[in-house]
Chains A and B, each alone.
Chain A
Amino acid sequence: MADVVLGKEEYVPPPAEVEDVELAHPHSWWTRYVFCQDAKVIAIQYSLTAIAIGLVALVLSWLMRLQLGFPGVFSFIDPSQYLQYITMHGMIMVVYLLTALFLGGFGNYMIPLMVGARDMVFPFVNMLSYWIYLLAVLVLVASFFLPEGPTGAGWTLYPPQAILTGTPGQSAGIILMLASLALFIIGFTMGGLNYVVTVLQGRCRGMTLMRMPLTVWGIFTATVLALLAFPALFVGAVMLLLDRLLGTSFFMPTLVSMGEPLKYHGGSPILFQHLFWFFGHPEVYIVALPAFGIVSDLIATHARKNIFGYRMMVWAIVIIGALSFIVWAHHMYVSGMNPFFGYFFATTTLIIAVPTAIKVYNWVLTLWHGNIHLTLPMLFALAFIVTFVNGGLTGLFLGNVSVDVPLSDTMFVVAHFHMVMGVAPIMVIFGAIYHWYPKITGRMLNEGLGKIHFWISFLGAYAIFFPMHYVGLMGIPRRYYDIGDMAFVPSSAHDLNAFISIMALIVGAAQVIFLFNLAWSLRYGKKADGNPWRATTLEWQTPETPPGHGNWGKELPVVYRWAYDYSVPGAKEDFIPQNMPPAAVRAA
């Protein structure tokens, strides 16, 4: 790959003047802001919707922490409601916030800009994708207003429990949940096909695959995973819906519920778990891979240094993505599946640790001999590394079949997955918003407010989830409304739970600072020029900031080098944009 070495980029393609004739330009307020086909507007619609529903999930986490930290004090929380909180919190955070924000939000905004395209390849379908996503969110929200509330089946929705009377939301909540998931997947597929085709077909001249920024690689690979994984959830949801509504027995064996023999016969509850986790494990990487990609670019830009081992980083993303399809049953070591599967899935799971560790090494090695600017995006990127390494390492406990036996279904699992796919990716989301906000709005976010937000969020979240591992290590199961009387639990554990709850309230409340900053800076933030971080990638080289519809004005950019020419020896500036012609570099 010649791109890595400066000076081997002599070939200059002829200028590419491409008329933007094919875009559906807006003609009214409606088509500019509402039914808009510009990927950047769709990205903002996706992001705002995801953040709004994410705030609902945040409040739910407060409620459940109130119950866990101070059992019996808040009498309005009963066991049914508690289960509804955990279920909706989990599902919203994983699917409707993280997936939608990374792919629908960052994917839409960044892919066309970073690969030098005018827009997504199928803008109309892209617009539909958002509106179906919104519909899915509304169906989900509607379930809160049902007389008996949303489903409380746990976000994993395991049958038979999910559709039987012992679970809250059995009459209608579960139906709306499954319908909403099906809608989400339909909407996502429309967007996802767009992202993949745009990366494969929409790149500007000179933008070879191995010159793409890692952000694009991360989002692209995650989208491929999602397109392959979500169908498993889709069929699982439809089959469960049929079991619930038409009395089929896909997942339902002969059983007696509350003394009442039911008509189900011969189904397999474990089949649902396989379908769910065939989606559910890749889902972890659907969230993680975009975060990996984005954080690589944040670190490189703000340490003024090329990402270390770019090709390794690309291959690590691809290998992790591929392996993520053959590890799903590590969520099922104690599910009662054939125990011999344990050997296979433990081995594949621990193998994933190798490419993942390589990524971590390359992030910290990028800092080595860097020129580290401790900007907000960099701080969040550093916090990501700490929380991701922490959460990734506890994955080595849970992935290692026999070690998982005492820990599975305890609070250790809750602590692990929150650290690794909750806190860590959200650190990246914050870093990315602080990083790209000036491009999206033309103004900088306030740095003082950002620092307060950073320190409370990072240290607070760590103080929530690090000690929580030890709650699980003691043996306290997850999804417990009340620990109640357990002889093996020391009373000090209740103090620890109260501490965790108080931290959760503080960290949640600190997000108000962030939201205020987003709104305040829109009008009063410091004006940003087109490339305030002096970055190399194409989105910072647009003729206008914020970029107009079509992104590039009259002429599409031409790319001459990879995305990481920072601090190149001999160059005048400490960054060389991807689209700067070699002659201009020499002249400078």
Chain B
Amino acid sequence: MGVALVFILVAVGSVLFHVFSPWWWTPIASNWGSIDNTIIITFWITGIAFVGVVGFMGYCIFRFRHRKDARADYEPENKKLEGWLTIGTALGVAALLAPGLYVWHKYIDVPKDATDVEVIGQQWQWSYRLPGKDGKLGKADAENITSDNPLGVDPNDPAGQDDIIIEGDDLHLPIGKPVKVLLRSIDVLHDFYVPEFRAKMDMIPGVVTYYWFTPTRTGTYDVLCAELCGVGHSQMRSRVIVEEQDKNQAWLKSQQTFAQTQASARSRTAAAADTPSRN
């Protein structure tokens, strides 16, 4: 009796915890409400299955617990019942899989008008590169990395000269415009993760990965690394600021292009080289 009750309470308690606990996902700030909805569908179907199985088990413990002179039934198989249960389960699984695959199809299908934004991970900081006036990002490779060109932008690619470089600072994005984030790492695996956007993808040295989203709410959001990248993993932070279009334009204008960073680097080196000759 008591044992049956405890098992029933575990099932009921789990449901109550789910409904009444204050711990839930953070309000969404991107177009991926469809992912949240798929999670809700999954919670319903799995929740019913969990309560059903544990409830049935609890009832059996209560009803068929050992009594004096009791004897169990002898029923090796019941093909009909097993068949129906299999079909029912298959339908439940299909009801989960269909929305899952549908949303995945949208997730990997980047809209044509999405703006490219490059995110570069390295131990343990985030950098960003945005296309300049030409709307295109120049080539980049870890082979090109020098102390003056820490992101490895190809210095000979004309498309890269006007790219905007943001090192160790926040990323600003305009609200309502789809963004394709191109993910690049120059050392180990990282993962560009903003919980409010729901989206996620690992960054792999030597490969450019991607995902897309549309910011739908202005605000400041934490950027976390979601793939273990060494001792500084939990400290690898940045922020994304989603703002109105005009504010974003103003911010863009105040940033340095790749050509500008290279020019100032050259003048620094020149100044350093000049110093001894003046003596």
Interface residues of A (CB under 8 A from B): 4-6, 79-80, 83, 152-154, 156, 158, 160-161, 164, 166-168, 253-259, 261, 266-270, 303-306, 308-312, 334-336, 339-340, 342-343, 346-347, 350-351, 353-354, 357-358, 360-362, 364-365, 367-374, 379, 382, 385-386, 389-390, 393-394, 396-397, 400-403, 405-410, 459, 462, 466-467, 470-471, 473-475, 477, 479-484, 486-488, 490, 492-493, 496, 564, 566-569, 574
Contacts and interface: CB of A to CB of B under 8 A. Distances in A.
Interface stretch (B173-181, B230-238, B255-263): B230-238
Contacts of A304: 66, 71-72
Given A342-B108, A403-B39, 10 more contacts: A166-B188, A258-B123, A304-B66, A306-B74, A367-B57, A406-B25, A467-B21, A475-B25, A564-B76, A567-B73
B60 interface: yes
Given A308-B77, A354-B93, A374-B3, A368 B64 contact: yes
Contacts, number: 341
A160 B188 contact: yes
Contacts of A357: 49, 85, 89
A24 B220 CA distance: 72
B87 to A, nearest CB: 10
22 contacts: A160-B205, A161-B229, A164-B230, A166-B230, A166-B231, A257-B187, A339-B104, A343-B101, A347-B101, A358-B82, A365-B81, A369-B64, A370-B64, A371-B70, A382-B61, A401-B100, A402-B104, A470-B21, A477-B193, A488-B26, A492-B22, A574-B71
Nearest to A267: B206
A481 to B, nearest CB: 5
A164 B3 CA distance: 52
Given A255-B142, A370-B60, A370-B64, A354 B77 contact: no
A306 B25 contact: no
Given A336-B204, A403-B100, A484 B235 contact: yes
A106 B115 CA distance: 58
B140 interface: no
Interface stretch (B153-161, B164-172, B195-203): B195-203
Interface in B100-151: 100-101, 103-105, 107-108, 122-124, 141-143, 145, 147
Contacts of A334: 191, 200-202, 226
B271 to A, nearest CB: 22
B142 A256 contact: yes
Contacts of A269: 189, 204-206
Contact of A358 (B85, B142, B205): B85
A403 B38 contact: yes
Given A164-B230, A400-B38, A473 B23 contact: yes
Interface residues of B, number: 104
A350 B96 contact: yes
A471 B74 contact: no
A474 B23 contact: yes
Contacts of A160: 187-189, 205
A364 B96 CA distance: 24
Contacts of A382: 3, 7, 57, 61
Contacts of A475: 25-26, 195, 224
Given A164-B187, A346-B100, A405-B107, A372 B229 contact: no
B241 interface: no
A257 B226 CA distance: 19
B261 to A, nearest CB: 17
Contacts of B195: 406, 474-475, 488
Contact of B228 (A161, A259, A403): A161
A373 B89 CA distance: 30
Contacts of B196: 488
B188 A164 contact: yes
Contact of A83 (B65, B225, B231): B231
Given A164-B188, A346-B101, A405-B107, A335 B72 contact: no
Nearest to B122: A256
Nearest to A387: B10
A378 to B, nearest CB: 9
B76 A4 contact: yes
Given A160-B187, A367-B61, A474-B24, A308 B75 contact: yes
B251 interface: no
Contacts of A389: 49-50, 53-54
A539 to B, nearest CB: 22
A336 B74 contact: no
A393 B45 CA distance: 9
Contacts of A310: 76-77
B49 to A, nearest CB: 6
Contacts of B77: 4, 308-312
